Amino acid sequence: MKNGKLQVGIIGCGGLANQKHFPALISQSDKCELVAFCDLIKERAVKAAKEFGAQDARVYTDYKELLKEADIDVVHVLTPNVSHAPITVDAFEAGKHVLCEKPMAHNTEDAQRMMDAWKKSGKKFTIGYQNRFRPDTLALKRACDEGKLGEVYFAKAHAIRRRAVPTWGVFPDKAKQGGGPLIDIGTHALDITLWCMNNYKPVSVMGSVYKKLGHLPLATEGNMFGPWDPATFEVEDSAFGYIKMEDGATIFLESSWALNVKDSREAATTLCGTKAGAEIITKENNGYNVVFNATTAGVLTEEQMSAGGAVAFFAGNEGKAEVKECKQWLEAILEDKEPLVKPEQAFIVTKILDNIYKSAEENREIKLG
């Protein structure tokens, strides 16, 4: 702490850092300062330090050198998936609080290493699932907690894109990411679904993984981010999972960067309960809404969130999910509270995703201990 502010170090200064974390952290300048930036590409770290860093911000290309700095309180790990575990473990051993971007890790073994290091450290730990902080997700979670849906026994986790294969960074690189859309965007949909259900006891999974469109040159046409290179596309383009829970509930997870469907639906969920149902839908302006369905006065009814309360021409960003995520994370450290996204929950998400891949590879149902 310096001048009552947390000293933050950033490991990984790529697109996610610039689009999400830097603006969110800067918005909380009363709580933190960005004092160290690390990236394998030095120019990116230098640029980030100039644009977002404190006056004397330091730059590194070796994250271990950053972790040696005793004044750094908090580290944000914003690197490719496969490197999450070693960096996070080292950060805890160096005595830092850690926010690691989703997913926690690319497999269960690495996620367990992170959990073990965290428990030994006594520090705070969270994973970057910012979609929990959207108004629609929070409303759905509250409805579930209040019992409005009754027992939720069936759910769908949606992460489907018609054509939105990322063409930057290392997304198609299996060695660095560990997988494709399942681990990239499927992780958000599954996190929302498990969190709203408050159900973290999976007993088995079955998975199907497809590499059908990634290597077809014609499939690249119409991609939102421009054509991808089929020759370097090493991951799946679609993956699906069927998850059974200890209490008998069932979850179907669908994920794809490229699928021949009419409509895209991402970071969304459908919940079916004994009293009512609910689903998060994508709005035309790329926002989200939650729709509840039930029976009222003898007829089937639907209700959804009202747009009331919005202020015309107001461009404030305090309501953005990533800003809310950042604010509660820093407050969890400063006020010694639990962060909203708990490591134990993120671990189960990784465990399920990992075993969907294993199920598809081995062509069998995987029992989870």
- Return the pLDDT at 322: 96
Alpha carbon distance 248, 282 (integer Å): 29
Average pLDDT rounded to a whole number, residues 183-200? 98
Indicate whether 111 and 203 sit together in one domain. no
Burial class of 242 by CB neighbour count within 10 A (0 to 12, 13 to 18, 19+):
middle
The string of pLDDT tens digits covering residues 134-167 is 999 999 999 999 999 999 999 999 999 999 999 9
User: Among 129, 151, 179, where does a domain finish?
Assistant: 129
User: Among 96, 129, 162, where does a domain finish?
Assistant: 129
Is residue 317 over pLDDT 60? Answer: no
Q: Does residue 333 form part of some domain?
A: no
Q: Which two tokens stand for residue 155?
A: 């759910």
Q: To 5 degrees, how large is the angle CA 348–CA 171–CA 86? A: 55
* pTM of the model as a whole: 0.95
Q: Which two tokens stand for residue 304?
A: 């959804």
Is residue 271 over pLDDT 80? Answer: yes
- DSSP conformation letters of 246-278: TTS-EEEEEEESB---S--EEEEEEEEESS-EE
- The residue segments making up the domain with residue 317 are 132-321+349-367
Q: Does residue 237 form part of some domain?
A: yes
Give the E-state strand segments of the chain in sequence order. Answer: 6-11, 32-38, 58-60, 74-77, 97-101, 125-128, 152-160, 202-210, 238-245, 250-256, 265-273, 277-282, 288-296, 299-304, 366-367
Percent of the chain with pLDDT over 70: 96
Q: Does residue 339 form part of some domain?
A: no
Strands 238-245 and 250-256: antiparallel
Cβ atoms < 10 Å from Cβ of 144: 20
- Please measure the distance between the N-terminal and C-terminal CA atoms of the chain and give it in whole angstroms: 41
Helix, coil or strand: residue 283: coil
CATH number for position 48: 3.40.50.720
pLDDT band at residue 318, thresholds of 50, 70 and 90? low
Average pLDDT, the chain: 95
Strand partners, 99: 76, 126
pLDDT band at residue 369, thresholds of 50, 70 and 90? confident
The edge-to-edge listing of strands for the beta sheet with 277-282 is 299-304, 288-296, 277-282, 265-273, 152-160, 250-256, 238-245, 202-210, 366-367
Indicate whether 14 and 36 sit together in one domain. yes
The string of pLDDT tens digits covering residues 42-82 is 999 999 999 999 999 999 999 999 999 999 999 999 999 99
DSSP type of residue 19: I
Alpha carbon distance 327, 229 (integer Å): 38
